[in-house]
Amino acid sequence: MTRVEQAPIPQEVLVVGEEMVNRLTAENEQLKYVDLESAKWYILDNCAEVQPYKIKHREILERESHLNLEERQRKSFPEWFKDHIQALYSEESSEVTDELYALSFGPDDRVGTYTMCTMNGIKWHVKQIENSKSVQNSGIMVPGLHGHHKSDFYGQLVSIVRVPYMNGYSVFLYKGEWFDTNCKKRKRVVRDYHFMSVNTNNLWYKDDPYVLATQAQQIFYLDDPNLGYGWKVIQKIRHRHVWDIPENEETYATETNYVDETNQEEVGDLDRTVEDENVDLTRSLRRDDVEPEIHVLSHKDLAELDSFANDDFIDDDPQEGEILSRDEEDENNNDYSDSD
């Protein structure tokens, strides 16, 4: 079963080093064959870069038979994918990235397990250590598919697994105990207005317990006093100081192109302005293609022009008479002050 929708291989999924576990000491463990095959298939099944090869492999299987396609592909695809990528690599094909090449060889069965980690700014720890703590950080939810229907999967984190690949790459997985929320079964999920309760006594996907650590969402469980033992109310929260901002590359590209076009237009206008200002001052202002017109003014016309100019002229300078009167006033004031 495909639990979540396929996603590309971001750097935080296939990583180098152990930055995500806050330098905690890992316990080395050798996965059982069943667990290793389950983890390997889940990683391949949830990487968008692998999907074109899955489609090609499925077409090969369909030409043989349409019976049990999903089961047959799950068993035979990893080996076919390895051979196919190696063939492309030997041909020096550009479609073979370092990540795909590492994935094609499969993981090492010697993994590192952790009891706590920090992923995307959220602290997690497995349910086994909650008995000695007053906080709860093991509730896990993953949106996905059950068969061909959308379904949210609820459970508790039981192990944090670092799966190593060649060339220092690693994939972090969460191993969960998943509560049975099959809507076709009775007494699994109860919805009451805005609340949802799940029966934690029934589990499923025991043979397929892994999810990518970056796909998990943290939730909390509260006891449901109305339904009794084993029933938990699911509480979804929004973590403080953690924001889920989707990346819209198309919008960013449009805005970037708009800014570039605007800058180019401004630069073009500036160039045109500079070109307009670069005028040859030695150029003659006389127009040889137009005959000059000569206007003869009489004494009367000159007198009217002079009168018009004087009427519009504003003289801010004080007149001579005003200056004298002010001087006389200042002398009188001085006389009065002397007599006092």
Q: Choose among 151, 143, 212: nearest CA to 180.
A: 151
User: Among all chains, which residue has been given the structure tokens 């207005």?
Assistant: 193
Instruction: Determine how β-strand 195-199 pairs with β-strand 203-204.
Output: unpaired
Closest alpha carbon to 9 in 99, 73, 74, 75: 99
Q: Which of 44-53, 222-231, 255-264 has the lowest mean pLDDT?
A: 255-264
pLDDT surpassing 90 at residue 14: no
For residue 244, what pLDDT band results from cuts at 50, 70 and 90?
low
Per-domain residue ranges for the chain?
14-236
The CA distance from 94 to 104, in Å, is 16
- Residue among 208, 214, 216 at smallest CA distance from 40: 208
Question: What's the pLDDT at 119?
Answer: 85
C-beta atoms surrounding 63 within 10 Å = 8
Q: What is the dihedral of CA 181, 184, 188, 194, to 10 degrees?
A: 80
- Both tokens of 77, joined, read 């695809």
Average pLDDT, the chain: 76
Question: C-alpha angle with apex 177: 125 to 15, nearest 5 degrees?
Answer: 55
Q: What is the pLDDT of residue 134?
A: 82
β-strands 231-236, 195-199 pairing: antiparallel
